[in-house]
Chain A
Amino acid sequence: MKSNKNIEKEIAKTMGSLEGASDIKAKPYFYTRLSTRMEERQLRQSTVWNWSLAAMILIVLINVISLLNISTETEENVDAIDLMASEYSMKNDDIYNSTLE
């Protein structure tokens, strides 16, 4: 174990040991690497944006096609029900049209 005096000395030296730490330089071609990174990021972002746009268009298309199909199917179903009802004389509004005998 060290004496108090030595410890104080060591602390003082340690506290002053960072002298010159500000004299460092970034590695050469820093700007070249930075501009490459920026270009790559921009390219990646535009690719992501393009894919998102394509996905959105696809979703909208699927929805439009589904809606069109549903409306056609509903009309066909109504026709089929009407046909069956008239074949079995079960028209819904018959009861209102019939007169009391």
Chain B
Amino acid sequence: MTDHELISGIIDGDESAFKRLVELYQDKTYSICLGYLRNEEDAEDTAQEVFIELFRSIYKFKGESGLNTWVYRIAVNKSLELIRKRKTKKRFGFLNSLFGNEDIIERNYADFKHPGVQLENKERASVLLTHIEKLPDSQRTAFQLHKMQEMSYQEISDTMNTSLSSVESLIFRAKKNLQKSLKYYYENDKTQ
């Protein structure tokens, strides 16, 4: 089934076409969300929201880019949206605790161990993810899609809707910034 056939099937109300689309992209979508959110429950929730959004707005798909890049773009945006919400909650956490709002539970994302990473690399990956989180959104997205999703520069450029040279520059700056912050981290790491 081609992208076009899948989309026309979904628009015509064919449930099997939607199921096929979900099965095709669920792993990559979940993986993208997990890379950003560092929590399996949040990643699953957000991946589901990606497909709900896709289902709602499928008629908007014009076919200018591939269906895969469209799905991944929604996944990136939804993940960043949740991160922004988390930050807002954190900012107003004090007020919420005053009013006894128990829903705001701050998770310790620093302890997250990525399930896809090899066992001997888990600690280092956890450190790297903490430092990636401090990068600006665009640098973070380009770096994560390249390193964690093994996407080519062209795929990243399509997903981020930006030029190839911008992607190169973003990844270069992300690497530089990460090396700098990791150097500072290891130089001041008293536990080593």
Binding site for B on A (CB under 8 A): 1-2, 7, 10-11, 13-15, 17-27, 30-31, 33-34, 37-38, 41
Contacts and interface: CB of A to CB of B under 8 A. Distances in A.
B175 A15 contact: yes
Contacts of A33: 44, 48
Contacts of A27: 30, 40, 44
25 contacts: A1-B192, A2-B186, A2-B192, A7-B187, A10-B186, A14-B124, A15-B178, A15-B182, A17-B125, A18-B117, A18-B128, A20-B116, A21-B31, A21-B147, A24-B27, A24-B34, A26-B26, A26-B29, A27-B30, A30-B26, A30-B47, A34-B22, A34-B48, A34-B51, A38-B55
A34 B18 CA distance: 11
Q: Closest 3 CB pairs between A and B?
A: A17-B124, A26-B30, A24-B116
The residue in B34, B48, B114 that gathers the most chain A C-beta atoms within 10 A of its C-beta is B48
A25 B40 CA distance: 11
Contacts of A41: 52
Contacts of A18: 114, 117, 121, 125, 128-129, 147-148
B116 A26 contact: no
Interface in B152-192: 175, 178-179, 182-183, 186-187, 189, 192
A49 to B, nearest CB: 16
Contact of A38 (B52, B115, B121, B182): B52
For the side of the interface on B, what is the size category?
35 or more
B6 to A, nearest CB: 14
Nearest to A11: B182
Contacts of B55: 38
Interface string B110-136: 000011111001001101110000000
Contacts of B117: 17-21
A38 B129 CA distance: 32
Nearest to B114: A21
A65 to B, nearest CB: 40
Contacts of A1: 187, 192
B150 interface: yes
Contacts of A11: 179, 182-183, 186
B20 to A, nearest CB: 10
Interface string B6-44: 000000000000010011001111110011000010001
A30 B52 contact: no
Contacts of A34: 22, 48, 51-52
B29 to A, nearest CB: 7
B2 to A, nearest CB: 21
Nearest to B180: A11
A87 B116 CA distance: 98
